[in-house]
Amino acid sequence: MGKTEKYDHMKLIRQYAGGHKNLMVLGRCLAAVSAVLTLIPYYELWKIIRTAVNGENPNKIKFYAWTAVGLIIGALFVYILALLCMHISAFRVQANMRSALMRRILTLPLGVFDEDGTGKIRRIVNDSTAATETYIAHTLADKTVAAVTPIGMLVLVFAFNWKIGLICMIPALIGFTCLMAMMGKGMQEKMKEYQDALETMSSEATEYVRGVPVVKTFGQTVHSFKRFKACIDGFGKWATDYTLMLRFPMAGFMTCINAIFAFIVIAAFVVTKDGVDNASILNIMYYIIITPLITVALTKIAYSGEAEMNLIDALKRVDRIMEIEPLEEKKSGQMPKDCGIDLKNVTYRYKEASRDAVSNVSISIMPGEHVALVGPSGSGKTTLAELMVRFFDVTSGEILIGGVNVKNISSAKLMEQVSFVFQDSRLIKKSILENVRMAKPDASEEQVLEALKKAQCMDIIEKLPDGIHTVIGEKGTYLSGGEQQRITIARAVLKDAPILILDETTAFADPDNETKVQAAFEELSKDKTLIMIAHRLSTVMNADRIFVMDDGKCIESGNHDELMKKNGLYKHMFDEYTRSIEWKVGA
Ligand code: ADP
Ligand code: MG
């Protein structure tokens, strides 16, 4: 943590800027020039006051005034040029960052993109790169100005009357010390806490909104969302602590930068103690005009410091994605010999989990065999299925497809071999045609229709205004969960891969839908190796073999009759299931 001060954000930015880094340097130089040009009119101002106080030729005043106006317009023009350079480089950096991120994301294990992960990644790709863009486009130029201005100001303040200058600098110095105290140690850490808190609150809020139907149905209150409430409370406490921590330095800073005027009064007494003359009036008036500049400059420094911490935090988040290990991809991938699957002592533990989700599972599935995975919720069925398609790599053990370790099969080849319909297979906001075609981009419309027919989707299509050209999620065309699933099955039908993995797909289907989904599955799984995870045991009874999972282990296997004879967990589950059916019929 102590290393945060060493973080070289500019080096990173320069890397992302590529060829545009010189433009960034040019932009900063122009900003510096503009800062100097902005200060010179104050010298003209001094000359104007001098002319007025000494009662000299008024034409001179006009000349000085126009010179000042000219300089200010010039400064403005140069500053606009600087901003232009900074904006062009900023957009370039943002574009480069985003494409680097997207390239990286494409290589990441599919397991990274669970619901939680997707939101975080989206936030980083959008927000963190946008924060970087804002920093370069706006803050960086201001930061250069904030660095140049104090030097120029010191010259302006001390050049005319060092006594007044010195007195005016006292509050500025104290204010600066307060500022440094605020920026000091722990601040970067605080900024991270702040961003983290925002992230947690936003994901908990989403969770809460999703849960509103449940809350309403069961007459509960927001307090049932303990985590949501806890994170809001936590943030409230954090904000209070943070404010209290900064109360003294912030009050000090604000008081000092606004107290400079009071010090001019003191300075006026000091310089006029031996009588008032033109020179002292001139100087006092001049200092009254110039000292607000000090306030502006210090405020600018304060804000650019804060923006910089924001930037560092954003860059670190980007790094976090760039640091996720991509799946190792063998260049010369081997070809699976057939479509059998062998799991040898497979163990998997999720990152940051305290126990294995799958532990020491050995299963051998013959080509063309239909197997089912059953077991209580949380027993590791989904994880096991996801491991087979390399959502992530096993912690230990081996997974072979067609006799070849999945790590040695190129991901394109692996995806050709396997289709999966997972619980949360989602459709994208495109037409049904395009959604199904994702499985095989060169498929003709007839082929897509054929697949939809096999997947029992025709009743869905007939309902839709534009048939298969209807865009899902637009103009009120939404599909039910079961209907979406049938469309994803059509996708799998079109893909026609030799291995098929289906996860708990009938779990939320209504009876009518379930019959159709069932028929679609049968059509889909003909002549294929099938791994099916199902809640309803009626659907797995016909499987060639059933593997019973419990607590990450495979504890029983065999066909339905064999397992019933064993009188173990399967029989227990099946009896429960039969009872629930009887109960339904009885009701
Ligand atoms: P099933 O599909 O049998 O219900 P899962 O494979 O989904 O079981 O989960 C097995 C175990 O792994 C559970 O204890 C679950 O809490 C845990 N688990 C599942 N997904 C994740 C994840 N993304 N991160 C951490 N733990 C997970
Ligand atoms: Mg599951």
User: Residue 1's pLDDT is what?
Assistant: 36
Distance 346 CA to ligand 2 centre (A): 17
Percent of the residues in the chain that have a pLDDT greater than 70, as a whole number: 93
Q: Among 352, 358, 383, name the best residue to mutate to test ligand 1's pocket (greatest count of ligand atoms within 8 A of Cβ).
A: 383
Among 72, 77, 78, 74, smallest CA distance to 44 is for 72
Q: Which listed ligand is nearest to 422 at the C-alpha?
A: 2
Q: What is each CA distance from 84 to 96, 146, 343, 376, in whole angstroms?
A: 18, 18, 59, 61
Domain assignment present for 156:
yes
Secondary structure of residue 220 in the 3-state scheme:
coil
User: Residue 167's pLDDT is what?
Assistant: 85
377 CA: nearest ligand 1 atom: 4
378 lines ligand 1 (CB under 6 A): yes
Which residues make beta-bridge pairs with 501?
420, 531
* 341, 529 Cβ separation under 8 angstroms: yes
Lowest average pLDDT, out of 93-102, 259-268, 373-382, 472-481, goes to 472-481
User: Residue 363's pLDDT is what?
Assistant: 93
User: Residue 71's pLDDT is what?
Assistant: 95
Which residues make beta-bridge pairs with 343?
363, 399
Q: Give the DSSP per-residue string, 52-65.
A: HHTT--HHHHHHHH
User: Residue 96's pLDDT is what?
Assistant: 93
DSSP classification of residue 467: G
Q: Which listed ligand is nearest to 349 at the C-alpha?
A: 1
* 498, 506 Cβ separation under 8 angstroms: no
User: Residue 220's pLDDT is what?
Assistant: 66
DSSP classification of residue 431: B
| Residue 45, amino acid | L
* Higher-pLDDT residue of 512, 344: 344
351 lines ligand 1 (CB under 6 A): no
Q: Among 116, 350, 356, name the best residue to mutate to test ligand 1's pocket (greatest count of ligand atoms within 8 A of Cβ).
A: 350
Domain assignment present for 286:
yes
> Where does the pLDDT of residue 511 fall: very low under 50, low under 70, confident under 90, or very high at 90 and above?
low
Minimal-distance CA residue to ligand 1 atom 14: 378
Instruction: Take residue 11 and report the two structure tokens written for it.
Output: 């080096």
Minimal-distance CA residue to ligand 1 atom 2: 382
Tell me the C-alpha distance between 495 and 528, whole Å: 12
Distance 340 CA to ligand 1 centre (A): 25
DSSP classification of residue 335: P
What's the first-to-final CA gap in the chain, in angstroms?
62
Q: What is each CA distance from 75 to 23, 66, 81, 303, in whole angstroms?
A: 19, 14, 10, 22
User: Residue 92's pLDDT is what?
Assistant: 93
> Where does the pLDDT of residue 23 fall: very low under 50, low under 70, confident under 90, or very high at 90 and above?
very high
Distance 357 CA to ligand 1 centre (A): 6
| CA dihedral sign of residues 492, 493, 499, 504 | positive
- Once rounded to an integer, what is the mean pLDDT over residues 228-245? 87
pTM: 0.69
- Which chain residues have CB less than 5 Å from ligand 2, an ion? 382
Helix axes 140-160, 278-322, angle to 10 degrees: 160
Other C-beta atoms within 10 Å of 474: how many?
A: 11
Secondary structure of residue 549 in the 3-state scheme:
strand
Instruction: Output the average pLDDT for the chain.
Output: 84
Q: Among 112, 382, 386, name the best residue to mutate to test ligand 1's pocket (greatest count of ligand atoms within 8 A of Cβ).
A: 382
| CA dihedral sign of residues 478, 483, 487, 488 | positive
Torsion of CA 78, 84, 86, 88, to 10 degrees: -160
Q: Which listed ligand is nearest to 381 at the C-alpha?
A: 1
Tell me the C-alpha distance between 523 and 496, whole Å: 11
Domain that holds residue 198: 9-322
383 lines ligand 1 (CB under 6 A): yes
382 lines ligand 1 (CB under 6 A): yes
355 CA: nearest ligand 1 atom: 14
Distance 516 CA to ligand 2 centre (A): 22
Domain assignment present for 240:
yes
Distance 354 CA to ligand 1 centre (A): 12
Tracing tokens 């051998």 back to the chain, one arrives at: 364
Convert 480-507 into a string of H (helix), E (strand) and C (coil).
CHHHHHHHHHHHHHHHCCCEEEEECCCC
Minimal-distance CA residue to ligand 1 atom 11: 357
Domain assignment present for 482:
no
Domain assignment present for 129:
yes
Among 351, 363, 339, smallest CA distance to 393 is for 351
User: Residue 185's pLDDT is what?
Assistant: 62
373 CA: nearest ligand 1 atom: 3
* 513, 456 Cβ separation under 8 angstroms: no
473 lines ligand 1 (CB under 6 A): no
Distance 503 CA to ligand 2 centre (A): 7
Tell me the C-alpha distance between 440 and 207, whole Å: 34
Tracing tokens 């659907």 back to the chain, one arrives at: 539
Minimal-distance CA residue to ligand 1 atom 15: 378
Minimal-distance CA residue to ligand 1 atom 18: 357
306-344: b or e for each residue (b if 16 or more CB lie within 10 Å)?
ebbbbbbbbbbbbeebeeeeebeeeeebeebeebbbbbb
Among 305, 190, 191, 309, smallest CA distance to 253 is for 305
Tell me the C-alpha distance between 500 and 420, whole Å: 6
Is 587's pLDDT higher than 60? no
Instruction: Take residue 553 and report the two structure tokens written for it.
Output: 């282990």
114 CA: nearest ligand 1 atom: 23
Is 506's pLDDT higher than 80? no
Distance 350 CA to ligand 2 centre (A): 14
Is 94's pLDDT higher than 80? yes
504 CA: nearest ligand 1 atom: 2
Which residues make beta-bridge pairs with 374?
548
User: Residue 395's pLDDT is what?
Assistant: 92
Tell me the C-alpha distance between 291 and 153, whole Å: 9
385 CA: nearest ligand 1 atom: 6
Contacts of residue 268, Cβ cutoff 8 Å, sequence gap at least 6: 164, 280, 284
User: Residue 360's pLDDT is what?
Assistant: 93
- Once rounded to an integer, what is the mean pLDDT over residues 243-257? 86
* 436, 448 Cβ separation under 8 angstroms: yes
In this predicted model, what pLDDT tens digit does every residue of 281-338 receive, in sequence order? 888 888 888 877 777 877 877 777 778 888 888 888 888 888 887 777 777 778 888 8
Among 307, 321, 312, smallest CA distance to 12 is for 312
> Where does the pLDDT of residue 2 fall: very low under 50, low under 70, confident under 90, or very high at 90 and above?
very low
Which residues make beta-bridge pairs with 546?
372, 558
* 321, 124 Cβ separation under 8 angstroms: yes
380 lines ligand 1 (CB under 6 A): yes
Backbone torsions φ then ψ of 223, nearest 5 degrees? -65, -15
Domain assignment present for 585:
no
DSSP classification of residue 221: -
* Higher-pLDDT residue of 522, 170: 170
Tell me the C-alpha distance between 260 and 283, whole Å: 15
User: Residue 398's pLDDT is what?
Assistant: 93
Query: How many structural domains compose the chain?
Result: 1
User: Residue 394's pLDDT is what?
Assistant: 92
Domain assignment present for 49:
yes
18 lines ligand 1 (CB under 6 A): no
Is 456's pLDDT higher than 90? no
376 CA: nearest ligand 1 atom: 3
567 lines ligand 1 (CB under 6 A): no
User: Residue 341's pLDDT is what?
Assistant: 94
Which residues make beta-bridge pairs with 346?
361
- Once rounded to an integer, what is the mean pLDDT over residues 540-544? 85
Torsion of CA 349, 352, 354, 355, to 10 degrees: -10
355 lines ligand 1 (CB under 6 A): no
Q: Give the DSSP per-residue string, 288-299.
A: HHHHHHHHHHHH
Is 425's pLDDT higher than 70? no
Distance 507 CA to ligand 2 centre (A): 10
The upper half-sphere exposure of residue 351, i.e. CA atoms within 13 Å in the direction of its Cβ, equals: 7
Domain containing 177 — which CATH number? 1.20.1560.10
379 CA: nearest ligand 1 atom: 3
Neighbour-count burial of 146, counting CB atoms closer than 10 A to its CB (0-12 exposed, 13-18 middle, 19+ buried): buried
Domain assignment present for 199:
yes
Q: Which listed ligand is nearest to 554 at the C-alpha?
A: 1
User: Residue 222's pLDDT is what?
Assistant: 59
Distance 115 CA to ligand 1 centre (A): 13
Percent of the residues in the chain that have a pLDDT greater than 90, as a whole number: 23
> Where does the pLDDT of residue 79 fall: very low under 50, low under 70, confident under 90, or very high at 90 and above?
very high
In this predicted model, what pLDDT tens digit does every residue of 36-48 receive, in sequence order? 998 899 889 888 8
Question: What angle (nearest 5°) sits at the alpha carbon of residue 533, between those of residues 531 and 539?
Answer: 95
User: Residue 19's pLDDT is what?
Assistant: 85
Minimal-distance CA residue to ligand 1 atom 21: 350
Helix axes 278-322, 21-53, angle to 10 degrees: 170
Is 83's pLDDT higher than 90? yes
> Where does the pLDDT of residue 343 fall: very low under 50, low under 70, confident under 90, or very high at 90 and above?
very high
